[in-house]
Amino acid sequence: MMMSLLLTAAAFAQDCDVAAMSKEILTAGPHEAAPMFVRLATCDATAAKKVAGSVVPTLIGEEDGFKAAVAAIESGAGAEVMTWMASLQRDEQSRAVRAYGKSCEASSAVQAFLLSAESELGGQFWSDRWYRALTECRSEAITGLLAQKVGSGAGEDRSAFFGVVEAYAINAGEGAIPKLVELVEAEQDLEMQINLVGAFTDAAQAGTVSGLNAQIAEKAADAVRKLADGLSPKAVDKARLTLQVLLDEKGSDELVTLRYKDLLQDGGQLLYGTVVFEKATCKNGKESLRYHVAQANDPGQTWPDQIEEKVKEIAGLNWDLNLAERCKGDGEVLYAVPDAPFANKEAMRKWFKEAIRANISAESKKTARVDHDPINL
């Protein structure tokens, strides 16, 4: 056991022969130099900083090179790394930024480097998406930088702004909710509303490695519900999807009355309808068709894309959909539903005619119509 410990200590001492490592690294090839520099920085940051000016420019834009760049930043050679970044291809720069992001939260040196990069690059820092390195870097200064940028507005590059909003929301978490509320309330532009509302899922950490935070999701959902009345109709669609991600299905369904508030009937209901077609090829080879027509009333909890499922359940339990069975043949049942509520019964009847015309050809011979009492969704 004693011999093993002595060998381990000797190996470590050999690994940290700073003078030898500093000399060897200067003649090493770029692939060898990167891991050698990381080892040197681990042993002696001051020694690593001394050779950084020679080593960093030779680094290759790949994983080992990015690790060496982080080691250089932590050794105090951030200026050399900034110069090296300018020499990389765009995709290499993006991968380097991601590497800084992975080290950022645990490294005050990387945090300082990124803050310095923003000061030095200005608008290029944001247009080149350096902010991606800040997403998981939760320090007061970094979060503050993102909040400041979000607060300055979208400018001409909306795509970059939406990326910054996403990074800020993920970084600040629950703390981002008041700022997002403020931004949405001040915004009338549809595209802006849609993207800002979607950012509430980022604040709740949806899609991150840690996964959706249930406590933040509840608060984010509450904020979205309160904002919904002031949103444009298409933005309400986004609010609906946002609430689904935040696990608020009830709130998501209730938004349908806001989305279609101009189509509400007396009593606050929404008016839908359905035509159900039974098409059969009977045992004797003859084709037969029967279709069922019904008004559908909804108390304000069903979106158009949810109607068919509810109609299937109601029709399956209450209507005779057995045409193929009766003529001992094969067949299918097709459901026609509208893509939005109707303004009135006249619009509903017009849709019935169009749906029937679209599914029954002029050559159809044996057809039958069955009218049903209104159904409640």
* 206-241 per-position pLDDT tens digit: 988 889 999 999 999 999 999 999 999 999 999 999
Q: Assess whether pLDDT exceeds 90 at residue 249.
A: yes
Burial class (CB in 10 A: 0-12, 13-18, 19+), 176: buried
Strands (E), the chain: 270-281, 287-298, 330-336, 367-371, 375-376
Q: Assess whether pLDDT exceeds 80 at residue 15.
A: no
286 compared with 258, residue with greater pLDDT: 258
Q: What share of the chain has pLDDT > 70, as a percent?
A: 95
Q: Assess whether pLDDT exceeds 80 at residue 136.
A: yes
CB contact set of 222 (below 8 Å; sequence gap of 6+): none
Q: Assess whether pLDDT exceeds 80 at residue 14.
A: no
Range ranked top by mean pLDDT from 3-12, 20-29, 41-50: 41-50
Helices (H) and strands (E) in the chain, counts: 20, 5
pLDDT digits (tens, 9 = 90+) for 190-205: 999 999 999 999 999 9
pLDDT of residue 362: 61
pLDDT of residue 286: 82
pLDDT digits (tens, 9 = 90+) for 254-285: 999 999 999 999 889 999 999 999 998 888 87
Mean pLDDT, the chain, whole residue set: 91
Name the amino acid, one letter, at 103.
Answer: S
| DSSP character at residue 106 | T
pTM score = 0.83
pLDDT of residue 327: 83
pLDDT band, residue 323 (cuts 50/70/90): confident
CA angle 81–86–87, rounded 5-degree value: 95
Q: Which of 288, 283, 275, 282 is nearest to 367 (CA)?
A: 288
Task: Kindly list the distances between the CA atom of residue 272 and the CA atoms of 196, 214, 349, in Å, as whole numbers in the listed order.
Answer: 31, 35, 10
pLDDT of residue 209: 86
d(CA 290, CA 320): 11
Fold classification of 138-259 is 1.25.40
d(CA 291, CA 88): 66
Helical packing angle, 30-43 and 63-74, nearest 10°: 30
d(CA 30, CA 64): 10
Q: Do the beta carbons of residue 366 and residue 285 sit within 8 Å? A: no
Specify the 3-state DSSP secondary structure of 260: coil
pLDDT digits (tens, 9 = 90+) for 156-165: 889 999 999 9
